[in-house]
Structure formats: C-alpha cells, structure tokens
Structure 1
C-alpha cells in the first residue's frame, strides 16, 4: 500500500464521543465511525482513544488501500487554555502586514512566561484599533499615529500534545494539525453542518484574522509566515 495522499483523515475527540472520518479529494465521505463514551469525567481518556484507533485504522487502510500517515485532530476539551491580550504600536507608521507581523511577534514575546510549556493551536486577531477607529479586518496601507491588536491565543499544554502524538504514533500516524472544536463551531451553519469540512476550511485559511501555522522551511506567502516560523 501507498501513503494516503488522495484522502484526508479527521478525528473528533471529546470526553463523551469519538468520531473518525475519511474524506476523498472531492470531500466525499469515504469512511466514518463513532463511539459514545459513558463516563463522568471531563478529561480525555487516551486509553479509549487508543482502543478506538485500533478498531478503525486497519479497517480504513484496507478500504482505501492506502496507509494513514497523517491525521487532523478536532479537539473538544477543557484542556484548552485561552489567553487574551492587546499589543500596541506607539509610533507613526503605515498599517500593513509586515507591521502586524512584528506586533504579533511582540505579543508572543510579552507573554513568554504565560505561554511557557504550551503549544499554540490558534492565534486569532479579534480587533484592530487604528488611532481611534476599530476594524474587524486589516485596513491595508492605512497611515496612522498608533495602532493596536486585540488577540487570543488558544493553547494546549506540551504534555497533552505529547500524549496525543504518542497515541497516534502507535499506528505510525503523525498529528498534522490540532484544531479547537469550539472555535470551529462558530463557522457552522445550516448550509455547512459538517464539522470536518469546516475544519478543512479553517486549516486552509478561511478566517483571514487567524495567523496560520507553517512548518519551518515551508514556503507560504501568507502574511503571518515570518511570525510562525519563529514559533516552530
């Protein structure tokens, strides 16, 4: 068998339910299975995740005639840590992507201790303030005296992420990306109810106010590229 280059594999993980889903290149559902978990805890049970994978991974690989090498994890858990902050530029300049990238770099530097031992999953710009005006988007090439950003960091602990990685490594699967279910939920609608397709859209940059994470050495022309090369 070959690597699963023609399919994308997703898994929803919560304390109460697990769902694994495989989509084709055309976003058609190729495989889906779910498990309801009866327990009174709000913590993720990694043993149950492991068992669920053992019951599904080989079935999937047999059905698609390919190995699963990467997976997208949709995490619905209280394990997320959210940190909000504002960061301000105090000198006159032109508001553009380069200056925003520098401010985001500063934001990470300012809260280094707070984010210690944590992995950043999402970085969202909630609001732009340009002089006395507020924007929900980047007003490119606007001259200003000052500007600031209200941002939110969505994180999990490095220890939690390592547990995720170790669970999937047993099946020779690497975690391609983790996303926050509560964040993804905001992009669902009557027309778009599929949580995995919504996840795909977010991963592909559907929200212009999310700084997209890229691996070192990956060429990406998004305006947050330099910022996230710093993180990774």
Structure 2
C-alpha cells in the first residue's frame, strides 16, 4: 500500500505524547494513542529515546504496518514568533508571481541570517499594503508604487529538530514536516467560533502559554510566554509542602467539595494563588495587544491546552479588565482533535501560509504552494 494513503502525526507535549494515524486502511479510518510522560523523561535523552522506541514498536504491531514517514507537532518555551515587514518601491509595476516570489524569498533569507540557530516552521503572510491600501488576498495584477508585505514567522531551535530527525532516522522513519502545535490547533479550532469576528485562543501548556488572535479566518497575532500550568502546580506544592503528584491533583479539583485540604483558610489561599497565577498568564499574554483595534467587533476568549483544564472543573472569575470579550469558552481538546488538526491543516491549503518545509521524497520547490495559490 502506498504511503500516500497514510498520514501519521506525533504531538510532543511536555506531559503527553500523542500519536495519530489517518487512513481508510484502518478501523474507523484512524488510530489514536496517548502516552503520559513527566519532566524527567523530557530531560533524559536515553529515557526519551526508549519511549519513542516503544511507541514505534507498539504502533507498528497494532496497525500491522511499518511506519516510514511521520509528521511532528512541537511547542516548547524556546519557540519564537517574529514579525517582519518588507517594503519596496516598485514604480507603478503590476504585481505578479515573480515579484511576490522574490520578496517572500528575501524575507525567508533575512530571517535565516538573523536567526541562524533556528528553523522556520511556519511562514505566514499577514497582509499586503499597496499605496496605503490593505489587501488580505494576494493582489495579483494590481498596480502600485509602494508595496509592503507583512510576515509572521514561527521558529524552532535547529538542534532540537536535528535531534528528532536523527532519532527517527535511526528507526528508519523520515520526518515529512514539523508543525507548531499552538498555531495548528488554533487554526483548526477557529472554525468552531465563526459567529465571532475576533477570536483569542489562549493555549496554556505545561511550562509555556501562547496567544493566537484571529480576525475572521486570518491570523493577526501569535505570541509565546514562558509560563504555564506547571507554575500553578509548583505554587500549590510550596504552600502545602506536598509532592508533585498530589499538588497536580489539588490543582485540578481545588474548588470541589471533596478536596482534602485541612482548613478553609488554606483552601482560600490556594484559590487566590491559582487565580493570581492565571491572571498573570493572561495579563502578560495580552500586554502588547492594542484592544482598540478590535472595538465594536464581537469577540471571544477561548482557553485550551492541558494547563487550562483547571478552568473546566473550577469556577475561575476573571477581573473586570477582561470584560472586553463578549464570551469566554473552555475548549477541551483531545488527542484525536490535536492530531486531526495537523491532518486537516495538511489537507487544506491556507491562503496565508507559504509551505516551506515540504516532503523531501516529493522534491517540491520552495514556492510550489505559493504558486498554486497565485494561480487560483
């Protein structure tokens, strides 16, 4: 059977590794598995490699097939989001494919020179500005004297990418593409909130959080913060002087009546600490956001990620500063929804994103996807 009939994805979270395989060959056309890991495993190369070995062995045994290609979702505290604008005087020239190809390539090279220790995971075109007129779609055949293209780059450390490539290469598996988890998830979940014009997705992870903002179906901002659910667990651990596992359990059930906390005063203190930490994450995530740009537009704040699950079981009341939002929602993503987000992103062309990390075996050009979009 051709590998084209299989789409395999592994999401490397800090507390879980999720694997998804999508194919008509499989029962229910999918195979989803989830593996819990701890921080020690992430820091121990030998343990980490052993877990991957076991995952590959178990998966191949259960689907009765060798894995030859796989895609990777990653999102750690050293992920970078870079905004870049390219401005050109083009002297009343019509915009065509070649002009856009050259400017996109120039932006990519510029990022490569200034961030030599990073690889580009995603190159996203935010908008085009021709003589002060904004275009969200590719402005082919428009005439202009001045062209500005605004880009967003999501970068990831090269040494981590090389480690993963070699790890799977040793097991005769090629990595087709790397994705940023927060971006891919928010891009896919965006469709569930179509009645809102502005959507804020706050992904609270293990040791990091990210805020992705969508204006309609277009990404307008994405930023990362080195604070997450683990920092809440550490706060509880220190107050109660208990081990990590118990602190995590308290965090998930802190407002429940059966929580075994000795005194109400201690419980109240813990609730205040949790609220304060969540507000800190939100405050820092929103620090650089100009909310005036979103006035009079229906908006929603969507919490997602493992670290935000505390919001699904507990009543968290946010301060009045967040009355800007028309609604708030907790989106409980699952291993299947996370893996499927990458699968759907691969299947559906994005009008914003230039595909720069293609499958090596197909030998596609850097701008193949861009040219495809330009030809529409």
Give the TM-score taking structure 1 as reference length: 0.82
Q: Which has the higher Rg, Structure 1 or Structure 2?
A: 2
Q: What displacement does 1:67 show?
A: 0.9
1:127 aligned counterpart, secondary structure: strand
Which residue of the other structure, out of 335, 339, 342, is the alignment partner of 1:196?
339
**What is the distance in 2 between the residues matched to 1:208 and 1:89?**
22
Question: Which has the bigger relative contact order, CA under 8 A and spacing at least 6?
Answer: 1
Q: What displacement does 1:78 show?
A: 1.9
1:86-125 mapped onto 2 (5 Å cutoff): 86-91=85-90, 92-125=92-125
1:1-232 mapped onto 2 (5 Å cutoff): 4-25=3-24, 28-39=28-39, 46-91=45-90, 92-189=92-189, 194-213=337-356, 214=358, 215=360, 217-218=363-364, 221-224=368-371
Q: What displacement does 1:191 show?
A: 5.2
Tell me if the contact between 2:7 and 2:343 (Cα under 8 Å) persists in the aligned partners.
Answer: no
Assess, with a 3 A threshold, how the Cα gap between structure 1 residues 157 and 67 changes in structure 2: closer, same or farther. same
**What is the distance in 1 between the residues matched to 2:135 and 2:4?**
40
1:105 aligned counterpart, secondary structure: helix
Please identify which structure carries the higher helix content.
Answer: 2
2:188 aligned counterpart, secondary structure: coil
**What is the distance in 1 between the residues matched to 2:188 and 2:45?**
27
Cα RMSD for the two superposed structures:
2.9
1:159 aligned counterpart, secondary structure: helix
Tell me if the contact between 2:188 and 2:344 (Cα under 8 Å) persists in the aligned partners.
Answer: no
Tell me if the contact between 2:18 and 2:339 (Cα under 8 Å) persists in the aligned partners.
Answer: no
Number of residue pairs matched by the alignment: 223
Please identify which structure carries the higher strand content.
Answer: 1
**What is the distance in 1 between the residues matched to 2:186 and 2:22?**
22
Give the TM-score taking structure 2 as reference length: 0.53
- Using the TM superposition, name which of 107-116 and 147-156 deviates more: 107-116
Assess, with a 3 A threshold, how the Cα gap between structure 1 residues 64 and 36 changes in structure 2: closer, same or farther. closer
Structure 1: runs of 5+ lacking an equivalent: 226-232
Q: What displacement does 1:175 show?
A: 1.1
Assess, with a 3 A threshold, how the Cα gap between structure 1 residues 221 and 151 changes in structure 2: closer, same or farther. closer
**What is the distance in 1 between the residues matched to 2:128 and 2:155?**
22
1:22 aligned counterpart, secondary structure: strand
Assess, with a 3 A threshold, how the Cα gap between structure 1 residues 6 and 109 changes in structure 2: closer, same or farther. closer
After superposition, the C-alpha distances for 1:210-231 in whole angstroms (9 at most, x for unaligned) are: 1112348436753358xxxxxx
- Using the TM superposition, name which of 26-35 and 134-143 deviates more: 26-35
Tell me if the contact between 1:98 and 1:223 (Cα under 8 Å) persists in the aligned partners.
Answer: no
**What is the distance in 2 between the residues matched to 1:49 and 1:204?**
30
Assess, with a 3 A threshold, how the Cα gap between structure 1 residues 48 and 23 changes in structure 2: closer, same or farther. farther
Assess, with a 3 A threshold, how the Cα gap between structure 1 residues 46 and 34 changes in structure 2: closer, same or farther. farther
Assess, with a 3 A threshold, how the Cα gap between structure 1 residues 164 and 79 changes in structure 2: closer, same or farther. farther
Structure 2: runs of 5+ lacking an equivalent: 194-332
Tell me if the contact between 2:125 and 2:152 (Cα under 8 Å) persists in the aligned partners.
Answer: yes
Q: What displacement does 1:57 show?
A: 1.4
Partner of 1:230: none
